[in-house]
Structure 1
Amino acid sequence: MEPQSFANDGLSASDFRTPEFDDTLLNQNKNDFNAVPEFSGGIVIIADKAAMKVGGFIKADFISDLAPIDSEDSFVTTEIPVGAADHKNARFHAKQSRLSFDTRWRVEEDIARAFIEADFFGGGDGSNGSLRLRHAYGTLGRFTAGQTWTTFTDPSAVPQTLDFEGAVSNVNRRQGLVRFIQPLGRSGWSFATSLEDPTVIIEVPTGLSGQGRTESPDVITHLRWESDYAETQSALVLRKLGFQPTGGSVITGTAWGINITGSVHLTDCTRVYSQLTVGEGIGSYRGSPDIVSTGPNSAAILPMFGWMIGCKQAWSDRVTSNLTFSQLTLDDLPGQSGSNLRQTKYLAINTIFNPYDRIFAGAEYLYGVRENQDLRQADAHRIQVSFGFYLP
């Protein structure tokens, strides 16, 4: 389909493309549900010295759980109940479907960009879902402001699962930020630094009342290297955690984290990716506590360690498979409740078929384990079948 044009002054979508964002997406991210739609072809509106691409997809998920898990729409292994009576779930939904608008225009020698994307995961499990903001940010040159992937994550290392949740240790958070990226010559290296929205998850000690305080932004940097066959990124976050007991002064502590990711194209058809995360007080970057109760009147910043390994294999132009295994471990600090999370594991194996352009169908097996601090554990098994249609 040719782009729709309105008073376009002879411009086309290619006049507004930014290679650092788009070129790699065209060939490497087929069936990657976190990738930004390419800025070419399809529904592109060319206006007076500007262009807008309408993107997104419809994704229908058919889910069958063979063991108890309280998260029905996505495979959240921390919500595997330990000691629950045996039961199964069946769930059909299309909440991962997305709609995006990518608008670009020239500002002197640079291209300004405003991108907004939403899905329908705004409601809880069992509902029809409501519109939820995923991305809303703008870029000009090396500057970015808005809500998008945190600088602490590497979007290219997010596993290509049909499941919405993804690997348990993978940092896949999007949040408000201001960021500056500096390429280091033509070496393939770049440096980024940002101030980002702080989130604190606290398990308040029994007998106390109060709430978390976020008095300063998270400070994050990363160093990244990219080439045609491999890429790696090392990110560092420094943050200040706060808790204010009711009627008392704010108690603060320092937290930190390191996230190292990488991927290698072993062949034109095989890509291996990995991730390692370690730190203290960064559990909220993966949905677990930053601070945990260690007694009736005490709490401590919680150390964590996570890792992931995965592989994407293209069997043909129309068939791909993905294998991902991940594990997250939280320290067994003395005084914790025995029901607190100690360790969780996640395994996903899928095959995705593209019978026609912009249409896909896939099947995925998911396995997860939750282990509590008292060493009691439970596992879950899920079969997910998905069908999807990309906007042109």
Structure 2
Amino acid sequence: MRTAVTRFRLHAMVGALALAFAAPSHAAPDIDAKLKAMAEQIESLQKQLRELQAASAAAAPSQATAAQAVTPVVAVPATAAATTTVAAVDTAPAKVVTEGSLPNSWKLPGTNTSVKVGGYIKLDVIKDISGGMGGNPTMISYIPVKGSPLAHHGDNFYMSARESRLNLATSTPTAWGELYTFIEGDFYGAGGGELYTNSSAFRLRHAYGKMDRWLAGQWWSNFANLDAFPETLDFNGAVGLPNATRSPQLRYAMPLGTDELAFAIENPEADFFGANTISFQTGQTMQPLNFTDKVPDLTARYQLNRPWGNVAVAGVLRRMTIDNTGGTPINGFVGEDSVNGYGLLVSGRYNYSGNSGLLANFTTGEGIARYIFGSPGFDEGGSDSAAIVDGKLKATRSSGVTLGVQHFWSNQLRSSFTWGAIKTEHPHPAYPLTAIGKQQSFHVNTLWNPLPPLTLGLEYIYARIENDTQPTETLSNKGDASRIQAGAILAF
């Protein structure tokens, strides 16, 4: 306001000066005096104007802040407020990346779906000390008996990155609850070789969706307690574990407080002696030639969860049918016959100090070699669950056990010891005497996490097998092997 007044006075003086110049000449003396006085006033007013402009410029920021602080609140009708809000949202960017609901995830722009990419890169370095374990990873049932030609083919060295894996998880809120999906693969697929490129095919491990209590897709079998599995650098791990086959399944899990009761129907696959187990072809699952899978495998598991650990009891029922009518005889049998299989699992983990714990798994039953990890049939494509005995398909009894301890020396350093064993009661002569009836394995390791995404480890593995032949002076019915394995894992 003061600046405006000063400018008005200056303009008035200039106007008066113009009128004075237009006056008659006889008034010159008076005019000269008046002009001098007016010039002095103009100079004074200009000085005041400059000072006011400088003061106004310095006060502008603080005045703006004060204006924002005292902005009056104006009541807006609800409809107008809604319109204003919508307009503000519409002007915001519609496709931006925001943090997702899963750990280390993001939301797909324009959706409520959270996406997480994960996995790890692993390098294994393996040196056989004595004997051979069938290559990499270990295949305990491939250990040759002492005195056989293969017993002299040990002392191998391997390096591999095939265990490296990649997975993708999503979470989407729906009217029925969260829809969670997970898909994962590694590089233990068929094909490739070590001569030049060390290439290997990507293969499917898991692919499932879960909503509320339902799970549909390919995931670990319900006939297992994953919390009681030991940690090993060896990809296959200890023999005798309940073999949590990665099965296509439909599962219903019912929470009971902190506990869980789960039921599932799972993909069947007959594994009697002589069965031509299925290998996938591109774009197709081939029909079996000498057996029929008529019903799914049925599994049930109850898991008791407590702060100190957990205990699980599980069961499996299955049915195998041989049907080689018009085909090649198996142990002299041609025709169709069926047998039921069943199994029981008792498993648990006890945490005695922080994350340090003891673990145990015991599995037994008839016709369930497929569900015991490391059984001879498992390594050879499946053959130990049943055989033709006296003209009928008869289930074979198998049992497996694992005991272990995992101790955390610190948050970054831990060690594990695991012992496992399998016993299979092969009926002869349905099975040859060379069929492996007993196996044992020992895994001892130490793993170190110098950085959160990096794991470095060293593991010693010892295993032995025994078949049902009579040993001679030159050929034993037993064999053993040992190896050292080092690993580096970079998780992401």
- Scaled by the length of structure 1, the TM-score of the pair is 0.85
Structure 2 match to 1:160: 231
- Contact 2:337–2:393 (Cα < 8 Å) also in 1: no
Instruction: Decide whether aligned partners of structure 1 residues 8 and 350 sit closer, same or farther in structure 2, where only a CA change above 3 A counts.
Output: farther
The structure with the largest strand share of the pair is 1
Structure 1 match to 2:152: 86
How far residue 334 of structure 1 moved from its aligned partner, in angstroms, is 3.3
How far residue 126 of structure 1 moved from its aligned partner, in angstroms, is 5.6
1:128-147 counterparts in 2 under 5 A?
A: 128-147=199-218
Secondary structure in 1 matching 2:269: coil
Instruction: Decide whether aligned partners of structure 1 residues 294 and 380 sit closer, same or farther in structure 2, where only a CA change above 3 A counts.
Output: farther
- Contact 1:256–1:279 (Cα < 8 Å) also in 2: yes
1:272-291 counterparts in 2 under 5 A?
A: 272-285=358-371, 286=373, 287=378, 289-291=383-385
How far residue 296 of structure 1 moved from its aligned partner, in angstroms, is 9.2
Structure 2 match to 1:327: 421
Structure 1 match to 2:435: 340
Structure 2 match to 1:25: none
Instruction: Decide whether aligned partners of structure 1 residues 232 and 271 sit closer, same or farther in structure 2, where only a CA change above 3 A counts.
Output: same
Secondary structure in 2 matching 1:156: helix
Structure 2 match to 1:116: 183
Is 1:13 the counterpart of 2:100 in the alignment?
yes
User: Partners in 2 of 1:130 and 1:154 — Cα distance?
Assistant: 29
Instruction: Decide whether aligned partners of structure 1 residues 241 and 202 sit closer, same or farther in structure 2, where only a CA change above 3 A counts.
Output: same
1:353-372 counterparts in 2 under 5 A?
A: 353-372=448-467
User: CA offsets, 1:179-208, max 9 Å, x none?
Assistant: 000112x2x221111110012222229xxx
User: Partners in 2 of 1:147 and 1:269 — Cα distance?
Assistant: 29
- Name which of 314, 317, 329 aligns with 2:411: 317
User: CA offsets, 1:102-122, max 9 Å, x none?
Assistant: 011001251101100000011
1:65-104 counterparts in 2 under 5 A?
A: 65-69=128-132, 71-82=134-145, 83=148, 84-87=150-153, 88-104=155-171
How far residue 253 of structure 1 moved from its aligned partner, in angstroms, is 0.5
How many residue pairs align between the two structures? 356
Secondary structure in 2 matching 1:85: helix
User: CA offsets, 1:124-168, max 9 Å, x none?
Assistant: 796532101000000010000000000001222221100000111
User: CA offsets, 1:291-327, max 9 Å, x none?
Assistant: 4546796653110011110111111111111110000
Structure 2 match to 1:26: none
Instruction: Decide whether aligned partners of structure 1 residues 8 and 194 sit closer, same or farther in structure 2, where only a CA change above 3 A counts.
Output: farther
- Name which of 49, 56, 74 aligns with 2:119: 56
Is 1:378 the counterpart of 2:465 in the alignment?
no
User: Partners in 1 of 2:289 and 2:107 — Cα distance?
Assistant: 51
Mark the runs of 5 or more structure 2 residues left unpaired by the alignment. 1-92, 276-287, 327-333, 471-476
Is 1:261 the counterpart of 2:347 in the alignment?
yes
Is 1:177 the counterpart of 2:249 in the alignment?
yes
CA RMSD of aligned residues (A): 2.3
- Contact 1:331–1:342 (Cα < 8 Å) also in 2: yes
Secondary structure in 1 matching 2:227: helix
Secondary structure in 1 matching 2:449: strand
Secondary structure in 2 matching 1:78: helix
User: Partners in 1 of 2:230 and 2:423 — Cα distance?
Assistant: 19
Instruction: Decide whether aligned partners of structure 1 residues 106 and 134 sit closer, same or farther in structure 2, where only a CA change above 3 A counts.
Output: same
Q: Which amino acid aligns with 1:148?
A: W
- Contact 2:133–2:140 (Cα < 8 Å) also in 1: no
- Contact 2:179–2:210 (Cα < 8 Å) also in 1: yes
Higher mean C-alpha displacement, 210-219 vs 302-311: 210-219
Instruction: Decide whether aligned partners of structure 1 residues 269 and 137 sit closer, same or farther in structure 2, where only a CA change above 3 A counts.
Output: closer
Secondary structure in 1 matching 2:248: strand
Higher mean C-alpha displacement, 49-58 vs 291-300: 291-300
Q: Which amino acid aligns with 2:480?
A: D
How far residue 229 of structure 1 moved from its aligned partner, in angstroms, is 1.5
Q: Percent identity?
A: 27
Mark the runs of 5 or more structure 1 residues left unpaired by the alignment. 1-5, 15-38
1:227-306 counterparts in 2 under 5 A?
A: 227-247=306-326, 249-285=335-371, 286=373, 287=378, 289-293=383-387, 300-306=394-400
Structure 1 match to 2:10: none
- Scaled by the length of structure 2, the TM-score of the pair is 0.68
User: Partners in 1 of 2:136 and 2:404 — Cα distance?
Assistant: 23
The structure with the largest helix share of the pair is 2
Instruction: Decide whether aligned partners of structure 1 residues 9 and 368 sit closer, same or farther in structure 2, where only a CA change above 3 A counts.
Output: same
Secondary structure in 1 matching 2:370: helix
User: Partners in 2 of 1:373 and 1:213 — Cα distance?
Assistant: 31
Secondary structure in 2 matching 1:66: strand
User: CA offsets, 1:201-229, max 9 Å, x none?
Assistant: 22229xxx962321110011111111221
Q: Which amino acid aligns with 1:50?
A: T
User: Partners in 2 of 1:253 and 1:348 — Cα distance?
Assistant: 36
Larger radius of gyration: 2
Instruction: Decide whether aligned partners of structure 1 residues 355 and 7 sit closer, same or farther in structure 2, where only a CA change above 3 A counts.
Output: farther
Q: Which amino acid aligns with 2:292?
A: R
How far residue 360 of structure 1 moved from its aligned partner, in angstroms, is 1.1
Instruction: Decide whether aligned partners of structure 1 residues 332 and 382 sit closer, same or farther in structure 2, where only a CA change above 3 A counts.
Output: same
Q: Which amino acid aligns with 1:362?
A: G
